[in-house]
Amino acid sequence: MATHPRAGTPAQPGDLVEVEKLLAAYHDQHPDPAVAEQRVAFGTSGHRGSSFAATFNDDHIAATSQAICEYRVAQGTDGPLYLGRDTHALSEPAWTTAVEVFAANGVRVLVDAADGFTPTPAVSHAILTHNRGRTTGLADGVVITPSHNPPADGGFKYNPPHGGPAGTDATGWIAARANELLEAGLTGVRRIPLSRARTGEYVGTYDFLGTYVDDLPAVIDLDAIRSAGIRLAADPLGGAAVDYWTAIAERHRLDLTVVNPRTDPTFGFMTLDWDGKIRMDCSSPHAMASLVARRADFQVATGNDADADRHGIVTADSGLMNPNHYLAVAIGYLFAHRPGWPAGAAVGKTAVSSSMIDRVTADLGRDLLEVPVGFKWFVPGLRDGSVGFGGEESAGASYLRNDGTPWSTDKDGIILALLASEIAAVTGRTPSEHYRDLTGRFGDPAYARIDVATTREAKARLAKLSADDVAATELAGEPITSRLTTAPGNGEALGGLKVTTESGWFAARPSGTEDVYKVYAESFRGPEHLARIQEEARDVVAAALGDDAR
């Protein structure tokens, strides 16, 4: 992947989305359900698209909201629905559409009491708070966000009563019904004007910010951060966490600077990502360049994406940490400093996360739960306490309260950001210093992801491979120790292939948006060995796919 020449530099006027045209297209453009790309489709984080491309428009959100109403009836979910939105331009009109449909269907919708933005973790926290101890009147929620995606994008995701991302049983049903409604020209969609909805009995308010921020001592040692006088910074990257960070600083009396308190639907204050696009990716050194440049001003600086379900950790001594590195440090610290957690609580990781996590987990004497990509796979364990920590290589994670009960069942970039300061306060050393300790004990892995061009047919075949399709016995000079097409932690399909050796591995997964497959790879023998794994991974995949490989 070639890096754009302006990556990491401030956005210019020509880079900015034309918000008025984007919003007009939301209402004026209508999808053609006969075109596959314009239908409702739920990925791992909901339905996403842009009004310019007729992939995220009023029709999509009206149909999807109606489908969710009908799904709730089918599931017997009759409690409130918590509705949040981020700062993307399309989030507000989509919020309006959703409220109009939910209220018309008699769904009790709870929106932010201050009419503000709402991070994903605050919605998950609200659902779990309401449902704790209940067996009836259960709540669910919707977050309107495309996460870290560019400013022209919109997103719509559903969280059932378990509080986490919906599984394919729910999203498949909702998407199918939404597309039926699109095909019927929205016949069957119930809707009332927003003014009527807001004055009626079905729209209420909820203090998302106050409830979440006041409860933080249950999951973070804020006293230690305050007592140690840690100088920390938070950059919401123009996202939904902006007011949350201000409230955290004030209510918990922390030496915390919100370095960018602005919100702007063009996100014109961002530095460009690797490909020259504006993207609020807090794990990207290019998107985080302005915060990294100030690293000497703070002991720990952190960033969040637009809905605050991801975290980026910047330390004065090392700059922006690789997400895998921080996950390994967080796991090692938490399992040593949370005596209230169940003794049998496991460590959860996705199959494409670093094997450093495996080594740290083994050293802790804990079980490892390795699952496919998607935070939804951690939900059952976080709910019942059998998983203490669940994390993804893409900088998303959550973990249990201090007493071992669930805090959130969706990714929470705010608590992971605060945890970095707790680690520094309690141990006197930054997370990056702790990671150097881990490499001294367990080795220093090289990790990377590349994209390999392929065909649509090959992607479909890759997603359905079996371990028996892989004939290779060696990888980069080492015997292959496992060929996986299902996750060892829960037996669910990986949607691709993972091949491991004693000191390295690769995983190949088809892209959901491009005619490429992604190769994640890691080596504990250094960059040259990693490059060899990446090269041979292409051959292994090509041989397994046969004629469909190219």
Locate the domains of the chain by residue range.
Answer: 17-206, 217-442, 446-545
First to last CA, the chain: 19
In 401-526, where does DSSP find H-type helix?
A: 413-427, 431-442, 456-463
Residue 205 three-state SS: strand
What is the reported pLDDT for 285?
97
Fold agreement (17-206, 217-442): yes
Residues 327-371 have pLDDT tens digits of 999 999 999 999 999 999 999 999 999 999 999 999 999 999 999
Residues 235-256 have pLDDT tens digits of 999 999 999 999 999 999 999 9
**What percent of the chain is modeled with pLDDT above 90?**
96
Residues 355-413 have pLDDT tens digits of 999 999 999 999 999 999 999 999 999 999 999 999 999 999 999 999 999 999 999 99
Question: Bridge-partner residues for 109, per DSSP?
Answer: 81, 203
Question: Which class does domain 217-442 fall in?
Answer: alpha beta
What is the reported pLDDT for 1?
65
Find the angle CA(456)-CA(165)-CA(78) to the nearest 5 degrees. 130
Task: Write the CB contacts of 91 (distance below 8 Å, at least 6 apart in sequence).
Answer: 85, 144, 145, 154
Topology of domain 446-545, CATH: TATA-Binding Protein (3.30.310)
- In the chain, how long is the greatest CA-to-CA distance? 69
Distance CA 101, CA 86 (A): 19
Instruction: State pTM to two decimals.
Output: 0.96
> Would strands 109-112 and 81-85 be described as parallel, antiparallel, or unpaired?
parallel
Residues 58-115 have pLDDT tens digits of 999 999 999 999 999 999 999 999 999 999 999 999 999 999 999 999 999 999 999 9
HEC sequence for 24-47: HHHHHCCCCCCCHHHCCCEECCEE
Residue 161 CA, chain-centre distance (Å), reads 19
Residues 474-494 have pLDDT tens digits of 999 999 999 999 999 999 999
Assess whether pLDDT exceeds 70 at residue 286: yes
Report yes or no: 194 and 219 within 8 Å, Cβ to Cβ: no
Q: Band of the pLDDT at 2, cuts 50, 70, 90?
A: confident
Distance CA 402, CA 6 (A): 44
Catalytic residue among 51, 65, 147, 284: 147
| 147 labelled catalytic | yes
Q: Band of the pLDDT at 43, cuts 50, 70, 90?
A: confident
CA distances from 238 to 91, 96, 101, 248 (A): 14, 21, 28, 17
Q: For the domain 17-206, what is the CATH code?
A: 3.40.120.10
Report yes or no: 222 and 230 within 8 Å, Cβ to Cβ: no
